[in-house]
Structure 1
Amino acid sequence: MTHDSMDQEPRNAFRPQPPSLRNKRVLVVEDDFFVAEETVRDFEDFGAEVVGPVSSLTLAFDVVLNGQAIDGAVLDINLLGERVFPLVDVLRRRGVPCVFATGYDRWTVPTDYQSVPLLQKPVVTAEVARALFG
């Protein structure tokens, strides 16, 4: 296979496929522009409708509290110096599954949030989707 023909492969041709994300609305909360854009692109490639991305806790609360339907949330733990845990509390009360996509280690997560799946960056979108939706 030549370099040119490799460039013509679909972006996700060699990535593991997630469970079906069709009709799933996924909230992406990430303060790194490039990580957020890649996450959005990957989830859209897999058929999800992405809510956001949002880059701050304040904006994330605005989205969640305005009544938008959300089926799952991908959350960075540290958003511009603020921890995302209060948002997790609200999402849990609404029955929305969450996944931490972060550079933090599991031991840095408070006990109340140890049950939230944690995937180390750089994450594989299919693994995030499986953690959210099985």
Structure 2
Amino acid sequence: MTAPRIMIVEDEALVALMVEDLLTDIGCRISGSFGAVDEALDYLKDAAAPPPALDGAVLDVNVGGTMVFPVAERLRAAGIPFVFATGYGALPRKGFEDVLVLNKPIDPILLEGAVRGFGQAA
């Protein structure tokens, strides 16, 4: 099976590197890592035509003081699965109750289970 291609949106460089390492260790490829919501939105540009090299995403909820929900909405519209990562606990937005929330620090086993849930084996 092909390795899932995962996008990361995380503003803290060390956390982003840790997530990249965890994903790489379980057989994923990093499709892009973004430290700002605007950068991630630019990458996704058109929800009707998502990047061909993207199978899922790990999204920090609060990215440099900006909530990541516009990225989540674009991914959802394109049918691309994602999980949230947060250090705050509860998700502060209605409409995403069905999305898995991983608490930071991210448990590698939970992350692997989430990625497998994207529909491809890691």
- Max radius of gyration: which structure? 1
Q: How many residues align?
A: 113
Letter in 2 for 1:64: L
| Moved beyond 4 Å, runs of 4+ | none
Whole-Å separation in 2 of the counterparts to 1:120 and 1:77: 11
| In structure 2, C-alpha distance between the alignment counterparts of 1:85 and 1:121, rounded to whole Å | 18
Per the alignment, residue 79 of structure 1 pairs with 63
User: Quick check: 2:84–2:100 contact (8 Å CA) kept in 1?
Assistant: yes
Q: Do 1:85 and 1:113's aligned partners in 2 also have CA atoms closer than 8 Å?
A: no
What one-letter code is carried by the residue in structure 1 that aligns with 2:63?
A: L
Bigger helix fraction: 1
Identity rate, percent: 34
Give 1:60 deviation, angstroms: 0.5
Task: Give the letter for the 2:23 counterpart.
Answer: F
How much does 1:116 deviate?
1.1
Code of the residue aligned with 1:46 in structure 2: it is I
In structure 2, list runs of 5 or more residues that go unmatched. Answer: 118-122
Q: Which has the higher contact order (CA 8 A, sep 6+)?
A: 2
Whole-angstrom CA distance in 2 between matches of 1:91 and 1:43: 19
Taking the aligned partners of 2:89 and 2:37, their CA distance within structure 1 comes to 20
Pairing 1:26-45 to 2, within 5 Å after superposition:
26-45=6-25
Name the TM-score, length of structure 1 as normaliser: 0.77
Over residues 60-98 of structure 1, what are the superposed CA-to-partner deviations in whole Å (9 max), with x where a residue is unaligned? 011222742311100000011100011111100111111
Q: Aligned-pair RMSD on alpha carbons?
A: 1.7
Q: 1:51 aligns with which of 27, 31, 55?
A: 31
DSSP-derived class of the 1:113 partner: coil
